[in-house]
Structure 1
Amino acid sequence: MTAHPALVPLPRSVAVIEGDPFRLTAQTPVIADPDAAAAARRILSTATAQTLALPAEASPSSPALTLSHTSDIAPPGAYRLVAADTGVEISAAGAEGLAAGLHTLAQLLTPTSEGWRVPAVRIDDAPRFAYRGLMLDVARHFFPVADVRAIIDRAASLKLTHLHLHLTDDQGWRLQLRAHPALTDAASGSAIGGGPGGFYTQEDYRDIVAYAAARHITVVPEIDLPGHTHAVGLAYPHLAADPVVTPELVAEAAGRGEALPAAGAPYTGLGVGFSSLRLDEEATFDFVADVLGELAHLTPGPYLHLGGDEAFGTAADEYDAFLSRVTQLVADLGKVPVTWHDAGRADVAPETVGQYWGLTTPDAAGADAALAFVRRASGVILSPADAVYLDMKYDDDTPRGLTWAGGPTSVRRAYEWDPVSVIDGIADDDIVGVEAAVWTETIDDLAGLDAMMFPRLAAAAEAAWSAPLGSTPERSWESFRRRVGGLGPLWRRQEIVFHPDRQIAWTGE
């Protein structure tokens, strides 16, 4: 690919064509339906850090940006972009594809004294997987709506389609529910390290969902069950089992200088696996049904995530029975249950999608648990922790982050993996999609999220969108490091505070 060095994720086909470059200015006409025209003004204004009028009026000889619908481009998200001095035309079957093409156009822009240069090029592009996600943990540290909106815009710019919100954990409950107001009254005011906590009102949540939908992103809410539930006990002590404090947890807490979890007291440490709901009480299932029913009503998207990971404080037989019952409850609500791959051992509802969070070289138990979802034909979302857990340190000197997923995760390691290579027996058709995750034990502001996500989120986006690793010369680390380095000026204009990784030669403006 010689047309431009800064296209991420890598398109299916890029060809230089004859003709002079196109010049985009604030007064370039946009010929499109009103929604597509509004998307063009928003995406390109953000990309240029200028307000572009892009008027709807055009003379017959005026080079224009044309956004057109056509039925011969598939699947959803696919598009065709043709640029020359006579104009730019982006074609797609629907609004999602037009937006994807606009984000590619944003990456093609180069500033000049006469506007923005777009090379003469034809791009035919389509995604590998329909589900291309980012998980944001708002439970360990809380992030206000404005920050979540910013993350949505960043995800959309890399053609991601799903925002998975980890709304509850031992450290706090982050979503207001009318049926159980004590969850936010009593269990939302803490965070790791003693931070202030916080929660989203139902109006906040609807705002996030609508903002994401306008950018072709579906919100996937997660209520983590039956472990990671210490915060529930602050609001409803009778529903929570006492913490299971193991010698390992005692040693870890002592090493970090943290207090141990105690029933009825907010937990602000990093430990996991000690909490559980009371699964021998029918009142617990009534509570869970209320919570998930209200959440389903608030969430227009098809997925509800139930967690299911690291439930070390839960007896195996109770865990299995709980996941079987609760995944069926979600299915009966008309939603697709999603769980972490740990739940593969249980007799979950057949519709349940598993999310694999083990390593790119899985242990036998993790691989078998993930394969259980394939055997049920519901499929898996791949989130291998040593590749796309974006809270891992880049190297030993990274100020934020953790290292438990096989040590630091360099940008190269984040890039050099392929979804079908992770678990033997899983093929493309078994994979629902790819999702990067950013847990926030050590991250408490938008700048911190940016630094940990970028540039590695771009690597995850390429794994989700582009052809398999190594299938073409351009689908390689050497190509990616050149292309992602070329995004430096765009990311600066978008006010993304990215990590200036030394493996990458970053382009100046």
Structure 2
Amino acid sequence: MTDSECSAVASSNRLGNTVIRFRFWLRNSAITPSKLSRGRPGVMQGMESLHQRLRLVVLVATLGGAACRPSAVPPPQPVVLAPRLVPEPASTTITGGAPFDLARTSNIVVDPGNAEVAAIAEMLAAQIRRPTQFPILVSTTATSPGAIVLRLSGAPASVGDEGYALTVTADSVRLVANRPAGLFHGIQTIRQLLPQDIESEMGSERSTWQIPAQNIVDYPRFVWRGAMLDVARHFFTVREVQQYIDLLALYKMNVLHLHLSDDQGWRIALNSRPQLTALGSVTQVGGGQGGFYTQQDYQNIIRYAAARYILVVPEIDMPSHINAGLIAYPDLGCSARPTGPYSGTDVGWSSLCVDKEATYAFVDDVVREISGITPGPYFHIGGDEVQTLTHDQYVRFVERVQGIVNKYGKKMIGWEEITKARLNPTTIAQQWKSDSATAALASGAKLILSPAQKIYLDMKYTPTTELGLHWAAYVEVRDSYDWDPAAYIRGVGEKDILGVEAPIWSETVRNIGAVMYLALPRMPAVAEVGWTPQANRTWDGFRSRVASHAPRWNYLGMNYYHSPQVPW
């Protein structure tokens, strides 16, 4: 063939490749012939005619191209997709080298004598075994080339306790950290670098499992990257809470705040006050049987979270939002309505009698017993939306309860209203609706930012989405992502902020599927706000990366909102 003829064939080849990609997409997309033709007469006939013409183009390109090929064709290089990590790491360098091929003979290597690191390695091994059907052993020596190596040495001091350094070459994957938490976060990165069907519970037909060659140095921006789950308005089982923990772990979140009591239900059993669950756990919003956690249930949640380096923070909301507790102890109540089982959603009307000594004996029992079964250093007292007390009554209550919490070795957290009181430097105020939380800074206290207009994940995405409320705002994915905590409140800088936390209040949320729908894809957005340096974050970058996670969520059985802001 002449040069001009070969040039023409090359153009046909490019068209042919486009055709092949189009046909592959059509076969593998959610579009079916019935969807294409529904309400469109003649569409299927037109599609068949188009397919016939496309097959002819491919045939011509294939036959003609044979005469233009050089005699020696180099072997094709592996196609490696660009990383689609969420959160975006602090530093990533794509080296351009050959990728790492995970193989049947690969194993995970750890240092001897560290059971905690071995447990992390086993979690990664189990993740890989399911879809690949590879044996993937955890050992202290590399049994063959192609090892994944986990070490608690060799990481830069700058990555701190939760960061890591990851080096991927054709020969190995090497993950190093200063602390086990860093290794755990690093294996989430390895998990995301592998093809999406690594999340499949079933075997995969994939023949290659590649990780692009690269170097990553990564660490979190904030030490508190939290999510709150309201188990009081609607009750969630232990397994449902664990499913939520799994989501948080995938995106390097490290705090689960459990809202354990409210007007509708008291959800944790206490030996010192058994009537709290006997009488106060029997309903929920809209009716239904409610439920509660035994202390063993609660500790199972804590252990499950701890294995994923997530801290559980219990909240008992007081002095308001306390109706369920007052069902058991009505003599402690000074509510604006009669005490009794409540399945509505109004707030602010229930209250403890803060001038009674018996109230503080009750609070002491609650704080003491829950603190005794909670390893973490925090106890959340709520303290929000109090409508039945005077300013002075409220301040006296908060300051006295702060002393009780500290007496049992915990640091107190409360919603932003607690800043009306004199706070200890160890106390933490959780901002949610205004800049009043800044009053805490005068005492040296830190802030957790949970702005309702940004990261209250129980807010509707749009007016047309079914689940959620909208009293604060309609909160789309970009709203949850496109803000800087250090620039959000005037006078509050990065040094004043412990971190961010995204609540899901459960007035409209009845099961874990609904939780996931409200959390995805907004929770990964919040995770990146909390983890990634502000200079590394862009909305366009995030929306592209998070779109690639939808197949993972499908494999994991996680419901999600198909936001039009994301190029799925």
Whether TM-score is above 0.5 comes out as: yes
Q: 2:165 aligns with which of 59, 71, 80?
A: 80
Structure 1 distance, partners of 2:129, 2:564, is 26
Structure with higher RCO (Cα < 8 A, 6+ apart): 1
Question: Which is further off, 25-34 or 201-210?
Answer: 25-34
Structure 1 distance, partners of 2:507, 2:103, is 43
Distance 1:382 1:47, change over 3 A: farther
Distance 1:489 1:314, change over 3 A: same
Report the secondary structure of 1:152's partner residue: helix
Alignment match, 1:267: 342
Deviation at 1:42, TM superposition (A): 2.5
Structure 2 distance, partners of 1:109, 1:374, is 44
Alignment match, 2:97: 19
**Pairing 1:349–2:430 present:** no
Q: What is the identity, as a one-letter code, of the residue corresponding to 1:450? A: M
Deviation at 1:54, TM superposition (A): 1.6
Structure 2 distance, partners of 1:160, 1:153, is 10
Work out whether residues 48 and 493 of structure 1, in 8 Å CA contact, stay in contact via their aligned partners in 2.
Answer: no
For residues 218-260 of structure 1, the C-alpha deviation after alignment (integer angstroms, 9 at most, x for no partner) is 11000001010111111010011132xxxxxxxxxxxxxxxxx
Work out whether residues 224 and 307 of structure 1, in 8 Å CA contact, stay in contact via their aligned partners in 2.
Answer: yes
Work out whether residues 135 and 436 of structure 1, in 8 Å CA contact, stay in contact via their aligned partners in 2.
Answer: yes
For residues 161-198 of structure 1, the C-alpha deviation after alignment (integer angstroms, 9 at most, x for no partner) is 11100000000000000000000000001100002210
Distance 1:26 1:487, change over 3 A: farther
Deviation at 1:67, TM superposition (A): 0.4
Structure 1 distance, partners of 2:423, 2:385, is 17
**Pairing 1:292–2:367 present:** yes
Report the secondary structure of 2:210's partner residue: strand
Deviation at 1:114, TM superposition (A): 2.1
Report the secondary structure of 1:436's partner residue: strand
Q: What is the identity, as a one-letter code, of the residue corresponding to 1:135? A: M
Q: What is the identity, as a one-letter code, of the residue corresponding to 2:161? A: P
Q: What is the identity, as a one-letter code, of the residue corresponding to 2:119? A: A
Q: 1:152 aligns with which of 240, 245, 251?
A: 245
Alignment match, 1:54: 136
5 Å matches for 1:480-491?
480-491=542-553
Distance 1:394 1:209, change over 3 A: same
Structure 1 distance, partners of 2:450, 2:129, is 32
For residues 430-462 of structure 1, the C-alpha deviation after alignment (integer angstroms, 9 at most, x for no partner) is 111111111110001111011000110001001
Q: What is the identity, as a one-letter code, of the residue corresponding to 1:64? A: A
Work out whether residues 324 and 349 of structure 1, in 8 Å CA contact, stay in contact via their aligned partners in 2.
Answer: no
Alignment match, 2:288: 195
**Pairing 1:496–2:545 present:** no
Deviation at 1:32, TM superposition (A): 1.3
Question: Which is further off, 455-464 or 343-352?
Answer: 343-352
Q: 2:471 aligns with which of 389, 404, 422?
A: 404
**Pairing 1:323–2:398 present:** yes
Distance 1:464 1:3, change over 3 A: farther
Work out whether residues 133 and 436 of structure 1, in 8 Å CA contact, stay in contact via their aligned partners in 2.
Answer: yes
Structure 2 distance, partners of 1:169, 1:451, is 23
For residues 400-436 of structure 1, the C-alpha deviation after alignment (integer angstroms, 9 at most, x for no partner) is 1000112x10001111111011111111111111111
| Identity across matched positions, percent | 41
Q: What is the identity, as a one-letter code, of the residue corresponding to 1:481? A: R
Alignment match, 1:301: 376
**Pairing 1:276–2:276 present:** no
For residues 309-332 of structure 1, the C-alpha deviation after alignment (integer angstroms, 9 at most, x for no partner) is 001122221111000110121112
Alignment match, 1:104: 189
Alignment match, 1:378: 445
**Pairing 1:127–2:205 present:** no
Deviation at 1:41, TM superposition (A): 3.9
Question: Which is further off, 70-79 or 138-147?
Answer: 70-79
5 Å matches for 1:413-492?
413-468=479-534, 471-472=535-536, 475-492=537-554
Structure 1 distance, partners of 2:93, 2:305, is 32
Structure 2 distance, partners of 1:115, 1:133, is 36
Structure 1 distance, partners of 2:413, 2:104, is 44
Alignment match, 1:312: 387
Alignment match, 2:334: 241
Distance 1:443 1:139, change over 3 A: same
Distance 1:113 1:30, change over 3 A: same
Q: What is the identity, as a one-letter code, of the residue corresponding to 1:42? A: M
Structure 1 distance, partners of 2:99, 2:129, is 17
Distance 1:306 1:26, change over 3 A: farther
5 Å matches for 1:203-218?
203-218=296-311
Structure 1 distance, partners of 2:409, 2:135, is 43
Alignment match, 1:248: none
Q: What is the identity, as a one-letter code, of the residue corresponding to 2:177? A: A
Question: Which is further off, 212-221 or 58-67?
Answer: 58-67
Work out whether residues 110 and 121 of structure 2, in 8 Å CA contact, stay in contact via their aligned partners in 1.
Answer: no
Work out whether residues 45 and 52 of structure 1, in 8 Å CA contact, stay in contact via their aligned partners in 2.
Answer: no
Structure 1 distance, partners of 2:128, 2:318, is 40
Question: Which is further off, 45-54 or 15-24?
Answer: 45-54
Work out whether residues 121 and 138 of structure 2, in 8 Å CA contact, stay in contact via their aligned partners in 1.
Answer: no
Q: TM-score, normalised by structure 2?
A: 0.81
Structure 2 unaligned spans of 5+: 1-79, 198-204
Distance 1:160 1:26, change over 3 A: farther
Report the secondary structure of 2:418's partner residue: helix
Deviation at 1:69, TM superposition (A): 1.0
Work out whether residues 189 and 196 of structure 1, in 8 Å CA contact, stay in contact via their aligned partners in 2.
Answer: yes
Q: CA RMSD in A?
A: 1.8
- How many residues are paired up? 474
Work out whether residues 477 and 521 of structure 2, in 8 Å CA contact, stay in contact via their aligned partners in 1.
Answer: yes
Distance 1:25 1:36, change over 3 A: farther
Q: 2:229 aligns with which of 125, 136, 145?
A: 136
Deviation at 1:118, TM superposition (A): 0.7
Deviation at 1:25, TM superposition (A): 4.0
Structure 1 distance, partners of 2:104, 2:291, is 40
**Pairing 1:42–2:123 present:** yes
Higher helix proportion, which one?
Answer: 2
Deviation at 1:138, TM superposition (A): 0.3
Deviation at 1:44, TM superposition (A): 5.9
Structure 1 unaligned spans of 5+: 244-261, 359-365
Q: What is the identity, as a one-letter code, of the residue corresponding to 2:503? A: A
Distance 1:48 1:283, change over 3 A: same
**Pairing 1:231–2:324 present:** yes
Deviation at 1:501, TM superposition (A): 1.5
Question: Which is further off, 424-433 or 174-183?
Answer: 424-433
Distance 1:402 1:43, change over 3 A: farther
